[in-house]
Structure 1
Amino acid sequence: MSKTNLRTQLRLKRKYRVKNQTQKDPQKLRLTVFRSLNHIYAQIIDDSNRKTLAAASSLSQEFKAKMKTGGNVEAARLVGSLLGEKAAANGVKEVYYDRNGFIYAGRVKALAEAVREKGIKF
């Protein structure tokens, strides 16, 4: 088994373990994050109604107006801040943080801290 396959399998195990924890209370919203090599995506999802309430990514027009690249920590902070503003405008106060199996460091951590600064608790 290649090293890349092993890393992917371990990430998916972490992802499902975290997702099972977050689904114990279906009334609570979920903030999910996905990071690729060049971009980062985040959205707040209402699982009971299957609706996305707020979304932000390094591909959005708001992001592109302020930064050019989306694969660094500063970009993750900006995406987190944009998402936090949208969530606060929609009245979101508390969410689960679903990091999709990614380790809580670097871009994933920077995004979480930026959302917390906007007043969203998790």
Structure 2
Amino acid sequence: MASVYHINKGINRPIVFKGFVAQYIAYLAVGLVLLLIGFAALYVSGLSLFIVLPIILGLGAGLLLVVQRLSKRFGQHGLSKYLARRKVPAFLRFSSRRLFTSLSRGGIIQ
């Protein structure tokens, strides 16, 4: 008898959930957990539910909009590339040519 093999067609594709791609799902999850902890802390501290609830709902809506905007703007790997590009200096300044002349003679790198 012939064997039937099922092919996983989702290999090498990013995880997508409701329009959120890859690491943005984790960012949203961490933000929601922090909002839950913040809600519990504010409610236990004695603030009224009518004050705490709009604050948490507003922050949750803001979190959702910011993460959705980041996900659409940068995509799967774009945010990490953007942050890495910002760390690269625009130019390098050397006060002496000794570094480059010693490279040709095998001074620094051997």
Q: Which has the higher strand share?
A: 1
TM-score w.r.t. structure 1 length? 0.24
User: Greater Rg, structure 1 or structure 2?
Assistant: 2
